[in-house]
Each structure stands twice: as structure tokens, then as C-alpha cells.
């Protein structure tokens, strides 16, 4: 497109171009769940497979006197950030925004109108529905390209995208139950039991569940040793009878 030649400048500086416009910072902000607003409030964005949920929060204690105004101000400030984030993250499908509850009908209308206004600047077709009794606003956004998260990230290999892993106490208790279950099957036969597991689980057992372990050893009439496996996933363990 030669006619746009005058719009293009060849960048030759030493400083990376991304740094000049703080692109890396903006990207990392757009991959975070929690985004702070200037007023001290914040929004939390959860991008699920079929739904994007955005929660607006005041973040700090506000006096009762001007509470309603602070809430309105925070909601309005959040709207600009939400519209910006929807564009930069390239969110698509159904979007639900949970605004901070507003008492006044006029405030609710103002927020809804501001949201409609803000998304009208969006190049992707975005529709804002009405506000529900609980203060939720439903929107739809038509997206043509994959979202930023899809482009830059993949599901966490450690938790397989669940976003959670079991607590050490949960795994330790699973081990204890399995010890009781399995040891019973071998009757009186004397054996050595070795539990192979992640270092954190073994540490947890020795540091906080020593009594439980002792109780189980007594109950099954066998001693139990823990062997640390550096390559194991936190949730992974195996019980050997040797
Ligand atoms: Zn994970």
C-alpha cells in the first residue's frame, strides 16, 4: 500500500520497540486475572471456555456517607478498563460483568449507558443487554481471531488447566487411607512399606502428621518409610510393599 508510505517510520534505535511503548507490561497486565484501577478498585477477569466473567470490586473500605458515589465512580472507571481489556484480550462470546451493587436506579442506568457507549468504539461487534436484578450485565462480542491467552499461553502442564492442585494435607490423607486399605490385605505377613512421593508431601507428613503416621503404623503393625521422588508431580505417589 504505497500510498500509506508517509505513515511509516523505520525504527533504528537501540532500545527494543516493545520497550518504547511498554508493550511487555501491557501484555503481562492483560494476562493477569486481577487488574487494578487508579482509584484503588480492581477488576477480576476469568476467561472460561464459553464465558468471560468480570467482577468489579471497590478494593478498600469506603465511608458510608459517600458510598453510593464511590461505587458509581468505581463502576464507571471499571467500564473503561473492561472495554480496553476486552479489545486487547480479544475476548469473544458471552461476557458477564458483575458490577458493584448500586442502590439508585439512576446510577444503574448511568452505568449501563456508559458500558454501551464504551463498547460502541469497539471494532468487533459488541452488544450490551440490560442489567439484571443482581446487577449483572450480559454482553456478547463477536471475535474473529483467537484470544490473546490462546495465542500466548497453553494450559498449565502442572495442574492441567484446572487452576488448582490438591493440598499437601489432602494427598497425605489419601496416602494414609491407602496404607490402611492395602496393609489389611496382606494379613500378618511382615513387610516393609515404602511410600514414594513428592518432597513436599513427605515433609508435610513428618512435620505435621507424625502422630497420625505413628497411629497408622501401630494399627497396621508395620513401619512406613517415605522416599522422596524428585521427578514426581505433587499429587503423585506410590506405595511399595518390599
Ligand atoms: Zn496450573
For the chain, domain boundaries: 16-152, 168-241
Average pLDDT over residues 72-83: 96
Alpha-carbon span 62 to 39, nearest angstrom: 12
pLDDT band (50, 70, 90) for residue 63: low
Q: What is the pTM of this model?
A: 0.76
At residue 70, the 3 state secondary structure works out as: helix
Q: Which residues contact 192 (CB under 8 A, 6 or more apart)?
A: 222, 223, 225, 241, 242
Expressed in angstroms and rounded, the spacing between residue 155 Cα and the centre of ligand 1 is 7
Expressed in angstroms and rounded, the spacing between residue 183 Cα and the centre of ligand 1 is 33
* Dihedral of the alpha carbons of 109, 115, 119, 120, in degrees to the nearest 10: 30
Alpha-carbon span 206 to 52, nearest angstrom: 42
Say yes or no to pLDDT of 216 above 60.
Answer: yes
40 secondary structure, DSSP code? S
- Looking at residue 48, what is its pLDDT? 84
The fold of 168-241 is Hypothetical Protein Ychn; Chain: A, (3.40.1260)
Average pLDDT over residues 54-64: 79
Neighbours of ion ligand 1 (CB under 5 A): 156, 158-159
Amino acid at each position: 500500500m504505497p500510498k500509506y508510505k508517509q505513515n511509516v517510520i523505520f525504527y533504528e534505535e537501540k532500545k527494543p520497540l516493545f520497550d518504547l511503548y511498554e508493550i511487555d507490561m501491557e501484555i503481562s497486565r492483560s494476562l493477569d486475572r486481577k487488574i487494578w484501577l487508579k482509584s484503588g478498585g480492581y477488576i477480576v477477569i476469568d476467561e472460561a471456555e464459553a464465558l468471560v466473567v468480570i467482577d468489579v470490586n471497590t478494593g478498600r473500605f469506603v465511608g458510608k456517607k459517600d458510598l453510593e458515589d464511590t461505587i458509581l465512580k468505581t463502576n464507571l472507571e471499571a467500564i473503561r478498563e473492561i472495554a480496553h481489556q476486552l479489545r486487547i484480550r480479544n475476548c469473544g462470546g458471552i461476557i458477564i460483568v458483575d458490577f458493584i451493587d448500586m442502590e439508585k436506579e439512576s446510577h444503574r442506568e448511568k452505568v449501563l449507558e456508559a458500558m454501551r457507549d464504551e463498547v460502541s468504539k469497539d471494532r468487533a461487534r459488541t452488544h450490551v443487554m440490560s442489567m439484571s436484578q443482581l446487577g449483572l450485565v450480559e454482553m456478547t462480542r463477536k471475535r474473529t481471531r483467537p484470544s490473546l491467552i490462546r495465542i500466548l499461553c497453553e494450559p498449565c502442564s502442572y495442574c492441567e488447566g484446572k487452576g488448582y492442585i490438591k493440598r499437601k494435607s489432602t494427598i497425605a490423607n489419601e496416602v494414609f487411607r491407602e496404607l490402611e486399605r492395602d496393609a489389611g490385605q496382606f494379613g500378618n505377613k511382615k513387610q516393609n512399606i515404602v511410600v514414594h512421593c513428592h518432597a513436599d508431601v513427605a515433609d508435610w507428613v513428618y512435620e505435621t502428621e507424625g502422630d497420625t503416621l505413628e497411629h497408622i503404623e501401630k494399627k497396621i503393625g508395620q513401619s512406613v518409610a517415605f522416599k522422596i521422588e524428585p521427578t514426581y508431580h505433587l499429587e503423585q505417589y506410590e506405595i511399595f510393599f518390599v
